[in-house]
Amino acid sequence: MSEGIRQPLQRRRLRIDPWSVGAGLIAAFVLMPIVAVLWFALHPEENIWPHLVSTTLPRYLGNTAVLMLAVGAVTAAVGTGSAWIVVMYRFPGRRWLQWALLTPLAVPAYVGAYALVDFLEYAGPVQTALRGMMGWESARDYWFPDIRTRGAAIVVLSAALFPYVYVLSRAALREQSANGFEVARALGAGPLGRFFRVGLPLMRPAMAAGVAVVMMETVNDFGTVDYFAVQTLTTGIFSVWLQSGNLGGAAQIATLSLSMIVLLVLAEKLSRRKSRVFQTARQSRPIEAEPLSRGWAWLATAACLLPVLIGFVLPVAVITSHALNAQEWLAPGLARALWHTLSTGGIAAVVCVAGGLFMVYGVRLSGRRLPVLLMPVTAIGYAAPGAVLALGILVPLARLDNWAADQWLALTGTDPGLVLTGTATALVIAYVARFFAIAQGTADAAMGRISPSLPMAARSLGRTAGGTLGAVHMPLVRASVGSALLLVFVDCVKELPATLLLRPFNYETLATRVHDKASLEKITEVAPAALMITAVGLLAVTLMARANR
């Protein structure tokens, strides 16, 4: 090959691909907090790991493991059981219960915890009614179980999170053909036999994915376990960092928490590695629900209604009863907390979805190996608990903030203050890093449904890559983009651990206001903000219900 031909080829190989560079920068942005946490854990200023191991760490680890396993088991049973009942059988209320089973997702677990304690505590309506009926005068006259326990935390978390398992199991079951179930019935299998031998194996991959999400959310939870005084790895991060002032120790606990999540994800993937479900029939028939006898029908209604009552009706009813006091809606700080929530969540959702679209489109456009390898890596932020991300974001940003302020002061003689950590910028960064996987996954699924011939035709007509994205892709994925914006926004509204750690001084959101007021046992003042969060959550539930019809 001549020298004149070799030089253009070398220039082509060395040409920088902006889509590959953009994918690398997005991946670095999402991974930065995790890398920072690992660095702090490996280079602590004061190594208190031996002290943690001999004192509080076993309790943190034990409570976290028990919560994960117990909540995972309960949600697996409730989610798959309710999905099986609403798909396979006809009973009173089935039509609206299959959508009502999604409503607990609208209520954050910490709101459910406050409502349950208020409902069952000594001054609550249950014990008050018991004392009135039985003639008891004080708590010494009767026994009532303690509410603020690990068992109550398991109930609250399970009631709030089981819809993750339900919606995936229901979708997996509805996609199956009725042929397999008819064969099992012809071979003499009863209802339980068909469930365990046919239905459960078909739902198992979806159930495993839902349980994995539930366990990750359980590890991430702070508001519920803190209110019930259950010490977990997440509360340990808060305690060691904020109360003891030890960054290295908090980072080491955060690393342990992250390791549990990574092991959980790997275990879930390995469990489904050899699982394959195929439709062999050319013309598969959808499953037709069979009617139940009168007694079994009402039992099925009660079984599906119970988790809805615990996870949605009870907390909403308790919070609404307190919110009837109109004065609380005019309480100082509520409007400001609402504005902070809408602004930070809205900005984070827009940035998150825009980044997700850029990365997915860039990977599909460039076809290079680096962006393809980096795209799955950016999903790790969703698996990381909010407290872990906050730990990895705040310290590097604070150091960068102080360095930039010092440089500006030296150049101009004026102090600009803390631009990044003194404002909501750190919150937006945490939200984007944590929920980027939602935006990326939605964009990837939406663009995967577009025929490759359409963008190829646009490019052949002279459209640039950016022009093709705007003229061809965006009109076709507009609905999915809207869904992603709403889902990310709702998750930002409900996020508590990262918001508590990263909010500037005297900066409230609806979630932090609910937590702060509930910590002071001011449930009446909690109600307006809690109802606002629930109303935003209902938007996402409505969208999910429409998508799963």
Contacts of 120 (CB under 8 A, 6+ apart): 126, 127, 144, 147
Measured between alpha carbons, how far is residue 532 from residues 99, 337, 402 in Å?
Answer: 21, 11, 36
Q: Report helix, strand and coil shares of the chain as percent, to nearest 5.
A: 80, 0, 20
Residue 196, classed as helix, strand or coil, is helix
423 closest CA partner among 495, 319, 347: 347
Distance of CA 301 to the CA centre of its chain: 28
Q: Going from the N-terminus, what domains does the chain have, and what CATH number goes with each?
A: 17-46+324-548 (1.10.3720.10)
H helices within 18-144, ranges in order? 18-42, 49-54, 57-88, 94-100, 109-120, 125-134
**Which of 211, 117, 197, 209 shows the shortest CA–CA distance to 162?**
211
By CB neighbour count within 10 A (0-12 exposed, 13-18 middle, 19+ buried), where does 282 fall?
exposed
H/E element, 449: none
Predicted pLDDT of residue 111: 92
Residue 379: per-residue pLDDT: 75
Interatomic CA distance for residues 372 and 363, integer angstroms: 6
What CA–CA distance (Å, rounded) separates 498 from 507? 13
CA dist 466 and 115 (Å) reads 50
Tokens of 260: 């549990």
DSSP state, 289? P
Q: What is the pLDDT of residue 460?
A: 74
Residue for token pair 């939200």: 431
Distant-in-sequence, close-in-space partners of 433: CB < 8 Å, separation ≥ 6: 29, 30, 32, 33, 381, 389, 393
Q: Please give the Cα distance from 309 to 500 (Å, whole number).
A: 29
Tokens of 20: 């590959």
**So what's the pLDDT on residue 200?**
77
Mean pLDDT by 10 residues, the chain (549 residues): 48 60 79 88 85 89 94 94 90 90 91 92 88 86 88 95 90 72 68 74 81 89 92 90 84 87 76 55 63 88 94 93 79 89 93 87 73 74 83 88 86 82 89 88 76 71 70 74 84 90 89 89 87 87 71
Q: Check residue 474 and give its pLDDT.
A: 73
Q: At what angle do helices 334-366 and 510-519 cross, to 10 degrees?
A: 130
Q: What are the φ/ψ torsions at residue 331 (nearest 5 degrees)?
A: -65, 145
Residue whose tokens read 């409505």? 542
Q: Which two tokens stand for residue 477?
A: 């994925």
